[in-house]
Amino acid sequence: MEITLTLNGKKRTASVSPDTMLFDFLRNHGCYSVKCGCETSACGLCTVLLDGKPVLSCSVLAVRADGHTVTTLEGLQEEASEFVGFIADQGAEQCGFCNPGFVMNTIALLREHPDPTDDEIRAYLAGNLCRCSGYEGQTRGIRAYLNAKKEGLL
Partner 1 sequence: MLTIDKYLRPATLEEAYEAAQKKNSVILGGMLWLRLGNRRIGTAIDLTGLVPDGIEDTGDTYRIGAYATLRTLETHEGLNILTDHAVRDSLCSIVGVQFRNLATAGGSIFGRFGFSDVVTTFLALGASVELYKTGTVTLEEFCTMGRVNDILTHIVLPKSPVTASYLAHRNAATDFPVLNTCAALCDGILTVTVGSRPLRAVPYRFPTDSGISAENIAETVAGQTVFASNTRASEDYRRHLCRVLVRRAVTDVLEKSAAKAAREVK
Ligand X SMILES: Cc1cc2nc3c(=O)[nH]c(=O)nc-3n(C[C@H](O)[C@H](O)[C@H](O)COP(=O)(O)OP(=O)(O)OC[C@H]3O[C@@H](n4cnc5c(N)ncnc54)[C@H](O)[C@@H]3O)c2cc1C
Q: Indicate the SS3 state at residue 20.
A: coil
CB of 56 to partner 1, least distance (A): 5
Q: Would you say 89 or 149 has its CB closer to ligand FES? A: 89
Binding-site partner at residue 54 among partner 1, ligand FES, ligand X, none, CB < 5 to 8 Å by type? partner 1
Compute how many residues bind ligand X; rule: CB under 6 A.
3
Q: CB nearer to ligand X: give 38 or 95.
A: 38
Give the strand order in the sheet containing 47-50.
10-15, 2-7, 69-71, 47-50, 53-56
19 Cβ contact partners less than 8 Å away, ≥ 6 residues apart: 61
98-117 positions binding ligand FES, by CB under 6 A: 98
Candidate list 1, 17, 42, 95; residue touching ligand X; CB under 6 A: 42
Task: Please provide the DSSP assignment of 80-131 as one string.
Answer: HHTTHHHHHHTT--SS-TTHHHHHHHHHHHHHH-SS--HHHHHHHTTT---S
Choose the contact partner of 128 out of ligand FES, ligand X, partner 1, none; CB within 5 to 8 A by kind. partner 1
Q: Which residues bind ligand FES (CB under 6 A)?
A: 36-39, 41-46, 56, 58, 93-98, 130-133
